[in-house]
Structure formats: C-alpha cells, structure tokens
Amino acid sequence: MQPISTKPAPPSDDKRWRIVTATMRRHGFRPDALVETLHSVQEAFGYIDDVAMRFIARGLQLPPSRVYGAATFYNYFMLKPQGEHTCVVCLGTACYIKGASDLLAQLEAVTGVKPGETTPDKQVSLLTARCMGACGLAPVAVLDGEVHGTADAKSVSAKLEEWMRHD
Amino acid sequence: MIEERPLFIPEQNIVLEHNGDIDPEVLEDYSKIEGFTALNHVLTEMTPPEVIDQVSRSGLRGRGGAGYPTGLKWQTVAKAPGTPKYIICNGDEGDPGAFMDRNVMEAYPFKVLEGMTIAAYAIGASQGFLYVRAEYPLAVQRLKNAIRQMEKHNLLGKNIAGTPFSFDVDVRLGAGAFVCGEETALIASIEGRRGNPRPRPPYPAERGLFGCPTLINNVETFANIAPLLRKGAEWFASIGTEKSKGTKVFALSGRIARAGLIEVPMGTTLREIVFDIGGGIPDGKAFKAVQTGGPSGGCIPSDYLDMPVDYESLLKLGSFMGSGGMIVMDETSCMVDVARYFMEFCMSESCGKCVPCRVGTAQMYQLLTKIVNGDATLNDLALLESLCDLVRNTSLCGLGQGAPNPVLSTLRYFRDEYIAHIVDKRCPAGVCPVHKREHQEVNA
Ligand SMILES: Cc1cc2nc3c(=O)[nH]c(=O)nc-3n(C[C@H](O)[C@H](O)[C@H](O)COP(=O)(O)O)c2cc1C
Ligand code: SF4
Ligand code: FES
C-alpha cells in the first residue's frame, strides 16, 4: 500500500499511455487499482497485451503474474485485438428462451467463426454475453455497441455480410 | 384461505416511485420529489442507533438474493470493532434475465446514493463503493454524475449538510465475472484481485474490504431506505406478508405478452404477476413454468401459480427469490434443456477454486448433455442426482451450492420429461436433438 514516488516510463510514446498512467495515479499507484487500470488499458487500446501488463505490473509494483492472473480471470478483458466491428449475441436466460442459440448458430455460419473469434479479414468479431439487461427485448444482439432487440437472424446476418464486404 | 381478490392488483411503487417523472441526471428534480428529505432528517434529528432501529422494525430484508434482515446486518457492522468501515453497494446484477438493478441505477441514481449515505451514517462508515457491472455504461455514467452533483451540493464529502458527518463514494467497475456478485469475491475484485470467494465466517461485516468491517447491500435494498425513513417503519411493515415486508421489483421476460419491470407488494401471487400484470402467454400457448432465482433458482410449474411470492414460499417450492428475474416458459421449452442451460452457465462461471463446483458442474453438464442427446441410461440419472447432493453440500460459495437447484427443481416437477428423454428417447417439447434424430429416422 506504499505509494511510489517515481512513475514508470510508458512502453512507447503513444499518448494513450497517459490515460493509463493517470488512472494509476488517481489511485495513488496502489495495488487495488489493478482492475480499474486494466479497464483503462482496454478502453484506450481495445485490448490488453503483454507489454501493457508489464507496464501495469511496474506501475503498481505487483508481480506480473498477479496482473496476468486478473486479466485472464475477468471475461470482459480482451487479450487479443478485436475486429473492426463487433457483434455480441446475448445468451442470457430470456434470450435463450427466445431462441438465441439458433441465432448464434446462424451467425457462426455466416461469419465462419466461433464465438470469441474474429474473421480472417479482421472485419468482424463474434462475441457472446450473459445478459445485456435488455431481456424484455429478447433475443438481443449488440452491433458495434448498439443494442438490437428482437433480433432476427436475417437482418443481423445482412449487417455482418455488409461489414465483411468492406475492407 | 378463500379470499376475494380484485382481478388486477395495482402495482405499488416504493423503489420505482414517480416512475418517469424526473430527469435522473438533475439533482434538483430529485429534490422536488422529496429527495434528500430522509437524509437531512436523519443527519439532523436521528442518532445512528435510531436509524438502525427504524430499518430493523420495518422488516426490510436484502433484495440481493438471500433475504437477510437489513437492520440486523447494519447493527452487526455498526458494532464491529475496527476502523475505517466501508459500505459497498452491490450493482453487479449477474443473473441472466434480470435487469431490475440496471433500471434502478439508471433511473434513480440519487436514491441509491441517498440510501447508501444514510447507511454510512448509521454504521459509521466514511467511504463507500458502488460496484457496477461494466456492461451497464449508462448506469455508471449516471451514478458518477449523481456523485459529482451531490458533492457540489454538500450532500457527499466533508461535513455533509453542515453536520460532522463525512462520507465519500467511488464507482468501481465489474469485469464480466458472475461470481463477483458474491460478496467476498466482490471484495477481492475491489481490492484489485481475481474474484475468488473465500470461506465465511468471518463475514464481511467483521472482516471485509481491506480487512475492515464492511456493509454490503444490494442496489434495490439501498433504494428502499429513503422512502422507508420518510414514511416510517410502521408504514413499510404494513406492506407485504408476515415475514417479507415491502415490495419487490421483478423483471418479467421470456414467453410473456408484456415483458418489463414491475414492482408489487411481497405476497402477490405468481398468477397475478404472470397473467394479470404480464398479460399471460402469447400466441395461444400454454404456461409451463416460471424460473426465478437465476442459476441458483428453480422452475415453478402451473400447480403453484397461486402461491404468494415471498422468500419463504419460493424456498419451499425449491426455488429462490434471487435478485428478481422471472423468466416465463411455455410448452415450447424443454425443462431438461433448461436445466442443462443453467448448468452450462454455472460450469463456465465457476471460479475453479474448489473441486466440487469446478469438477462437479462439468460432470453434471456432461450427464445432462447425454440426456438431451438421448444417450443416457437411468443409471446416469441416479448419478446426476447424487452429484447434485454432493455439489450442493460441499461447495465453498453460493455459486456451487446453488448450481444443482435448476436440476433438482426440474426433476421435482418435470421428472417425466427426463424419463421421456432417457427411456423413450423422446423430447416432449421437441427441442432436443434426441427428437430430431428420431425424426430423421422416420424420414429416412
Ligand atoms: C454467485 C453469487 C452471485 C451473486 N450475485 C449478486 C448480484 O449480482 N447482486 C447482488 O446484489 N447480490 C448478489 N449475490 C448476493 C451477495 O453475495 C450478497 O448477499 C448481497 O449483495 C447482499 O445484499 P442484500 O443483503 O442487500 O441482499 C450473489 C451471491 C452469489 C453466491
Ligand atoms: S463454489 Fe464454485 S464459484 Fe464458489 S468458490 Fe467454489 S469453485 Fe469458486
Ligand atoms: S437475457 Fe438477453 S438481455 Fe437479458
């Protein structure tokens, strides 16, 4: 819990590291800033790689294993870059009852990837979630952050195909 | 107990009062609907023990799942030796199919914070944390905005409303792990660690965040506090049933005509909720079951539609109040597949710390998969039942202890569906592959 006087130098001169450092500073470089700092890396860079984890480890004076342990524990953290677009299919109970697994199966067929994967052209990441809190609209798909209720395979597929055509 | 009931029980709003009338981002709007009158009254006219006494006498119980008496919990933390003391508001809402807390945080951020601040005064805490799942960005934004405005108006921070009492609140983001809703895992997460639960006792009330006495309550529990103190414990205790006081917010979804949030007095029957308020099942289908309590809950069949909904009744039926998700199912849902769905959830969300849960959920999932595929024997069913017993009794935290519940409750009420899959190789609802295979054979 001892604050350190000198902050570690960022891995590169990418300005986004400043946001990460600011998060650590706001928490006095204390170890309990770990999850918050991982959030800020993901928000700034879209994912959390080894370089970022080592930087956080130095900043918060934690063993890298602790940083890696936390980054891999939480489903929300991405350890690989995501595609240009994301499609999240909700597999929560309400969506499941309303046919979310069929929807997902069709989107897997359209994109040719499994949940958690990105199409080879890096255009679309297909993801799943446990409930978006929009259960009244089930089944729900979230396309680039926008919630689509009563999602039908046809219209969602059309959107994904459109994304995959562009490069 | 034959009693005349009106066809439609009007919903009663404590948590969701003034629904839609105010701008959740403007403090003055909240003040106009008696916002902060309870806080001001408490800080200037009441001693901490008097506040706790009111909460105890109201009969309020935790809305996060288990229904622990809120006043008793506050008293334990107030009496626990050690400083500082912390307050945590549990806004993780991990149950799939539940969205009550999201709505409360988005629509009533000031009310949640007012409840937390009153609690802080009552137990002697100086720092609070709101743990909100990262999937709820709007809730996070509104809560942060509400904190800033309250600080500006001296309703948070140093010497609140000119009294000696000081209290700060910070928001912490969850990161997509269901188990972090469990209180000890949540504490680990706020401390920046992996969200692994630890054995209790010691309870967080004695050793919680950073080893200090910590009060953890659910979002809806805190949202009840200001109205309760404004209108008094007797008023609150006059609503609900003998042991479950006040109202409960439920999220109605699934095969139901009108999905959405409702707030009803405790003791309202399932029939009133599903048929009178929710409008029944659409497309002329028949009601089959309602699932409550999330992955630790159970499926309640039509025979019990007239059961009043409260903590004890749901437990008696082999289900669980949980946080308030109610997912309605009709004849198109296969109950074995539903059980398998929840087991998959628990298996994936198991934190892996203890063996019964980590290995047991995977074994039960495999057995359920065998059943839905038509590959199981009656021996597999017996094995499944003994595993339910083992995992329930030997897991470390509520996730593992509750994981067998969906299986046990569907076995209790829909055993014939299991038998149909195993013995007749038939899925009565026509959902499982066992059925499709048979179909293909007929067509071949
Ligand atoms: C696996 C698991 C998940 C939980 N998830 C939540 C949750 O999302 N929200 C919540 O308020 N309580 C959750 N709880 C219950 C909490 O541990 C705790 O009992 C509750 O927050 C206490 O608040 P209350 O007394 O106001 O109900 C969960 C418990 C378990 C075992
Ligand atoms: S019961 Fe499951 S979730 Fe809970 S501590 Fe054990 S492995 Fe982790
Ligand atoms: S279950 Fe899909 S949004 Fe809640």
What confidence tens digit (pLDDT) does each residue in B39-73 have? Answer: 999 999 999 999 999 999 999 999 998 899 999 99
What is B168-228 written as a DSSP string? EEEEEE--S-GGGGSHHHHHHHHTTS------SSSPTTTS-GGGS-EEEEEHHHHHHHHHH
Q: What CATH code is carried by the domain that includes residue B409?
A: 1.20.1440.230
Task: Give residue B323's pLDDT.
Answer: 87
Task: Give residue B11's pLDDT.
Answer: 67
Q: Which of A22, A30, A40 is nearest to A2 (CA)?
A: A30
Longest dimension (CA), chain B: 82
| Domain end marker among B280, B295, B330 | B330
Mean pLDDT of chain B: 93
Of residues B56 and B11, more confidence is placed in B56
What are the C-alpha distances in Å from B210 to residues A38, B83, B190, B192, B365? 20, 11, 9, 11, 37
* Cα angle B417-B423-B425, degrees, rounded to a multiple of 5: 75
Q: Which of B300, B339, B336 is nearest to B318 (CA)?
A: B300
Do B115 and B207 share a domain, yes or no?
A: yes
Query: Residue B392: in which H helix or E strand, if any?
Result: helix B378-394
Mean pLDDT of chain A: 92
Instruction: Convert B243-263 to b/e letters by CB count within 10 Å (16 or more is b).
Output: ebbbbbbbbbbbbbeebbbbb
Q: Are strands B247-254 and B214-218 parallel, antiparallel or unpaired?
A: unpaired
Q: Assess if residue B137 is contained within a domain.
A: yes
DSSP state of B161: G
Q: Assess if residue B12 is contained within a domain.
A: no
Q: At B17, is the pLDDT very low, low, confident or very high (cuts 50, 70, 90)?
A: confident
Q: Which residues line ligand 1 (CB under 6 A)?
A: B 62-66, 68, 90, 92-94, 179, 181-183, 216-218, 221, 323, 397-399
Residue B226 φ then ψ, to 5°: -65, -50
pLDDT in tens, B176-217: 999 999 999 999 999 999 999 999 999 999 999 999 999 999
Do B137 and B176 share a domain, yes or no?
A: yes
Do B299 and B385 share a domain, yes or no?
A: no
The boundaries of the domain holding residue B344 are: 335-443
What's the pTM? 0.94
How many distinct structural domains can be found in chain B? Answer: 3
Q: Does the beta carbon of B426 lie inside 6 Å of ligand 2? A: no
Task: Give residue B10's pLDDT.
Answer: 56
pLDDT at B299 over 80: yes
Chain A residues in contact with B132 by the CB 8 A cut-off are: none
* Cα angle A52-A57-A63, degrees, rounded to a multiple of 5: 135
pLDDT in tens, B249-288: 999 999 999 999 999 999 999 999 999 999 999 999 999 9
CA A59 – CA A7 distance, rounded (Å): 6
Do B319 and B347 share a domain, yes or no?
A: no
What are the C-alpha distances in Å from B237 to residues B15, B207, B234? 15, 31, 5
- Residue B327 and residue A129: Cβ atoms within 8 Å? no
Q: At A165, is the pLDDT very low, low, confident or very high (cuts 50, 70, 90)?
A: confident
Is-contact B367 B379, C-beta < 8 A? Answer: no
Q: Whose CA is nearest to atom 22 of ligand 1?
A: B217
Is-contact B331 B429, C-beta < 8 A? Answer: yes
Task: Give residue B3's pLDDT.
Answer: 43
Task: Give the count of alpha carbons within 13 A of A56, CB side only.
Answer: 31
**Distance (Å) from the C-alpha of residue A144 to the closest C-alpha of chain B?**
14
What are the C-alpha distances in Å from B52 to residues A6, B47, B79, B122, B125? 46, 9, 11, 6, 14
Task: Reduce the DSSP state of residue B288 to 3 states and report it.
Answer: strand
Do B290 and B357 share a domain, yes or no?
A: no
Do B301 and B253 share a domain, yes or no?
A: yes
| Domain end marker among B237, B269, B292 | B237
Residue B97: which of A34, A38, A92 has the nearest Cβ? A92
Do B305 and B360 share a domain, yes or no?
A: no
Q: Assess if residue B11 is contained within a domain.
A: no
Q: 3-state SS string over chain A?
A: CCCCCCCCCCCCCCCHHHHHHHHHHHCCCCHHHHHHHHHHHHHHHCCCCHHHHHHHHHHHCCCHHHHHHHHHHCCCCCCCCCCCEEEEEECCHHHHHCCHHHHHHHHHHHHCCCCCCECCCCCEEEEEECCCCCHHHCCCEEECCEEECCCCHHHHHHHHHHHHHCC
Is-contact A125 A118, C-beta < 8 A? Answer: yes
Q: Assess if residue B103 is contained within a domain.
A: yes
pLDDT at B305 over 50: yes
Residue B389 φ then ψ, to 5°: -60, -45
Task: Give residue B362's pLDDT.
Answer: 98
CA B350 – CA A28 distance, rounded (Å): 32
Task: Give residue B129's pLDDT.
Answer: 98
Q: At B422, is the pLDDT very low, low, confident or very high (cuts 50, 70, 90)?
A: very high
CA B370 – CA B378 distance, rounded (Å): 11
Q: What CATH code is carried by the domain that includes residue B277?
A: 3.10.20.600
Is-contact B429 B334, C-beta < 8 A? Answer: yes
Task: Reduce the DSSP state of residue B264 to 3 states and report it.
Answer: strand
Do B314 and B341 share a domain, yes or no?
A: no
pLDDT at A89 over 50: yes
Q: Assess if residue B14 is contained within a domain.
A: no
Q: Assess if residue B20 is contained within a domain.
A: no
Do B366 and B430 share a domain, yes or no?
A: yes
pLDDT at B1 over 50: no
**Distance (Å) from the C-alpha of residue B235 to the closest C-alpha of chain A?**
32
Do B199 and B292 share a domain, yes or no?
A: no
What are the C-alpha distances in Å from B367 to residues B279, B387, B400, B419? 37, 10, 17, 14
Share of chain B above pLDDT 70, in %: 95
Q: 3-state SS string over A137-164?
A: HCCCEEECCEEECCCCHHHHHHHHHHHH
- Radius of gyration of chain B, Cα coordinates, nearest whole angstrom: 23
Q: Does the beta carbon of B211 lie inside 6 Å of ligand 2? A: no
| Domain end marker among B301, B330, B359 | B330
pLDDT in tens, B385-404: 999 999 999 999 999 999 99
Task: Give residue B278's pLDDT.
Answer: 94
CB-count exposure of residue B122 (10 Å: 0-12, 13-18, 19+): buried
pLDDT in tens, B212-241: 999 999 999 999 999 999 999 999 999 999
pLDDT at B436 over 70: no
Task: Reduce the DSSP state of residue B244 to 3 states and report it.
Answer: coil
Is the ipTM above a cut-off of 0.95? no
Q: Assess if residue B7 is contained within a domain.
A: no
CA B225 – CA B232 distance, rounded (Å): 10
Domains of chain A: residue spans and CATH: 16-73 (1.10.10), 85-165 (3.40.30.10)
Do B380 and B316 share a domain, yes or no?
A: no
- Residue B253 and residue A136: Cβ atoms within 8 Å? yes
Q: What CATH code is carried by the domain that includes residue B124?
A: 3.40.50.11540
Do B233 and B260 share a domain, yes or no?
A: no
Q: Which residues line ligand 3 (CB under 6 A)?
A: A 90, 92-95, 131-135, 138, 140; B 96-97
Q: Whose CA is nearest to atom 6 of ligand 2?
A: B354
Instruction: Convert B164-186 to b/e letters by CB count within 10 Å (16 or more is b).
Output: ebebebebbbbbbbbbbbbbbbb
Q: Which of B196, B182, B263 is nearest to B15 (CA)?
A: B263
Alpha carbon B196 to its chain centroid, in Å, reads: 20
